[in-house]
Amino acid sequence: MLAEEQPQAPLGPKASLQELHFEIEQLDSEYAHVLDNEHYEEFLDFFVEDCLYRVVPRENHLLHLPIAAIHCESKGMIKDRVYAARESTMAEPRTLRHFISNVRVLEVGDEAIRAEANVLIVQTMINRMTDILLSGFYLDRIVRSDGRLRFKERLCIYDSLLLPTSLIAPV
Amino acid sequence: MLAEEQPQAPLGPKASLQELHFEIEQLDSEYAHVLDNEHYEEFLDFFVEDCLYRVVPRENHLLHLPIAAIHCESKGMIKDRVYAARESTMAEPRTLRHFISNVRVLEVGDEAIRAEANVLIVQTMINRMTDILLSGFYLDRIVRSDGRLRFKERLCIYDSLLLPTSLIAPV
Amino acid sequence: MLAEEQPQAPLGPKASLQELHFEIEQLDSEYAHVLDNEHYEEFLDFFVEDCLYRVVPRENHLLHLPIAAIHCESKGMIKDRVYAARESTMAEPRTLRHFISNVRVLEVGDEAIRAEANVLIVQTMINRMTDILLSGFYLDRIVRSDGRLRFKERLCIYDSLLLPTSLIAPV
């Protein structure tokens, strides 16, 4: 078992809900920063080994349909995805920017924190104006592992039924 | 007089501005969540009985013109509006998503807290990409009623002079 | 030397990171409010005399290229810019709205706080819908001066290579 998988109380003894909320906002801000700058090695560090990362249309999520734009059942699968994103030479260069807001802590359990946040991602391609890539929300299971909060599960549930064909990188 | 209308100090004895600010952000995040998921029964709970809820173009607001896209002078009128939104079969299905940020507490009075926040609402219709529905700001009078913060007054003041004809649901 | 230039510890003795973070969020929210309402006199107050304010494409920032949409090396230059924005009669009237989120405190030094935040600015012109003007991030050096946080340096680094030709007012 890796060090980061040692279970720790997600909410420390003295942490208030407000402090926890602040920590989750910081986690989301760092997450946004890492993806907006394509720091994919650091992106991997946001997840524990045994994790779930999915990018799925809201309709499919509500109807429990399995189809997802991205589906990774482990950190290894996320690593593969990141490699594909980096090596893809077919994709036109673009800059993404994440706006993660309205964090809601749903449950502070013994094993994980369940939280939600709205997300708007805009995309700028070379010589074009900035467009909306997707809107949606993150649905998370967060654990404290190896001294910081990490995702046991992060679902990015987006509002459009259209798959953005350009969705190659993680979001 | 209903229980929820008992006046209570909006700012508790030990609450700091930072704590109050946090509470208002949580209020806005819950509000966003409830509307984005069309939980209109819960939406009603954000208001006290004797309330004002208006959705009004910025120009009209600045010039004190009465025309508004939505005008409700009581919780009963909001209820009617919500009923209309739910029963309207003419409207194409869509998903809204609220991004409420940059909360500013303007005044903490004996009877109410005056606060403001920027809001961006995006809209996704079936088989279309996500578009901006409106940008603007909320101008609020918030009271503590029946154990939680509620709106005595919420104005949604939007930047465009164009009325989004598709604006049926509350925002 | 002006009163506001007296050096003060950016982080007070009792302030926690969370409190500082909250203060910076408030600074950004006030900044957004002032620009969205074209209160340019108050906008000037966000800067110390000896300051740097630049609006620059991300590409140029990454490559250390000097070209910027706005470049002001002092408060006096910002004043000139604001005057130009106010007196420009060629520009079609528009309303801007700033969404500043995902603040990250990078360093709390003896002389300044380095911080970053994502920004989305939307623009509404008369009789048009609301569009994205730009997305990007602020890269700041913040000091405590004359009793409040002010910018020693604020860079607005935007994602598009296209200069929005309509960018006249500060952002």
Encode pLDDT of B65-111 as tens digits: 998 999 999 999 999 999 888 877 666 788 999 999 999 999 999 99
Q: Write down the H helix ranges in chain C.
A: 17-36, 40-44, 58-62, 75-87
Over 60: is that where the pLDDT of B4 sits?
A: no
- What's the whole-number mean pLDDT along residues C161-171? 75
Q: Name the band, by pLDDT with cuts 50, 70 and 90, for residue A166.
A: low
Per-residue confidence (pLDDT) for residue A86, from 0 to 100: 80
B&C contacts, CB < 8 Å: 61
* B135 part of contact set with chain C, CB < 8 Å: yes
Length of chain A: 171
Distance CA(A169)–CA(B143), nearest Å, equals: 44
Of the candidates A158, A110, A98, which has an alpha carbon nearest to the alpha carbon of residue A10? Answer: A110
Helices (H) and strands (E) in chain A, counts: 4, 6
Over 50: is that where the pLDDT of A6 sits?
A: no
> In which residue are the tokens 């909250």 written?
C22
The pair of structure tokens assigned to A89 is 């030479």
- What's the whole-number mean pLDDT along residues C8-23? 74
Burial class of residue B135 in the structure, from the number of CB atoms within 10 Å of its CB (0-12 exposed, 13-18 middle, 19+ buried): buried
Distance CA(A106)–CA(A21), nearest Å, equals: 11
Chain C segment 66-125 residues within 8 A of B by beta carbon are 95, 97-101, 120, 122, 124
Is C102–A97 a contact, with Cβ atoms under 8 angstroms apart? no
Over 70: is that where the pLDDT of A89 sits?
A: no
The shortest C-alpha distance from C158 to chain A (Å) reads 10
Neighbouring-strand partners of residue A54: A71, A155
Q: Which residues of B93-129 are buried (b: 16+ CB within 10 A; e: fewer)?
A: ebbbbbbbbbbbbeebeeebbbbbbbbbbbbbbeeee
Is B160–C36 a contact, with Cβ atoms under 8 angstroms apart? no
Is A103–B132 a contact, with Cβ atoms under 8 angstroms apart? no
The pair of structure tokens assigned to B126 is 């079936």
Q: Name the band, by pLDDT with cuts 50, 70 and 90, for residue A4.
A: very low
Encode pLDDT of C151-161 as tens digits: 999 999 999 98
Residue A66 or B11, more confident: A66
The shortest C-alpha distance from A24 to chain B (Å) reads 14
- What's the whole-number mean pLDDT along residues A100-126? 96
Which of A120, A159, A162 is facing B99, going by the closest CB pair?
A120
Is B130–A161 a contact, with Cβ atoms under 8 angstroms apart? no
Per-residue confidence (pLDDT) for residue C130, from 0 to 100: 94
> What DSSP element (H or E) covers A91?
none
Q: Name the band, by pLDDT with cuts 50, 70 and 90, for residue A85.
A: confident
Q: Name the band, by pLDDT with cuts 50, 70 and 90, for residue B163.
A: low
- What's the whole-number mean pLDDT along residues B106-131? 94
Is B136–C97 a contact, with Cβ atoms under 8 angstroms apart? yes
- What's the whole-number mean pLDDT along residues A54-83? 94
Instruction: Give the CA angle between residues B42, B45, B50 to the nearest 5°.
Output: 150
* C36 part of contact set with chain B, CB < 8 Å: yes
Residue of chain A whose alpha carbon sits nearest to that of B24: A102
Over 60: is that where the pLDDT of C50 sits?
A: yes
Instruction: State pTM to two decimals.
Output: 0.92
Residue of chain A whose alpha carbon sits nearest to that of C20: A22
DSSP state for residue A15 in the 8-state scheme: -
* C166 part of contact set with chain B, CB < 8 Å: no
ipTM: 0.90
Encode pLDDT of C54-110 as tens digits: 999 999 999 999 989 999 999 999 999 998 888 776 667 889 999 999 999 999 999
Q: Would you say B158 and C122 are in contact if contact means Cβ atoms under 8 Å apart?
A: no
Q: Would you say C99 and C134 are in contact if contact means Cβ atoms under 8 Å apart?
A: no
Per-residue confidence (pLDDT) for residue B92, from 0 to 100: 77
- In this structure, how many other beta carbons lie within 10 angstroms of the beta carbon of residue A14? 6
Over 80: is that where the pLDDT of B58 sits?
A: yes
Residue C87 or A9, more confident: C87
Per-residue confidence (pLDDT) for residue B15, from 0 to 100: 66
Q: Name the band, by pLDDT with cuts 50, 70 and 90, for residue C163.
A: low
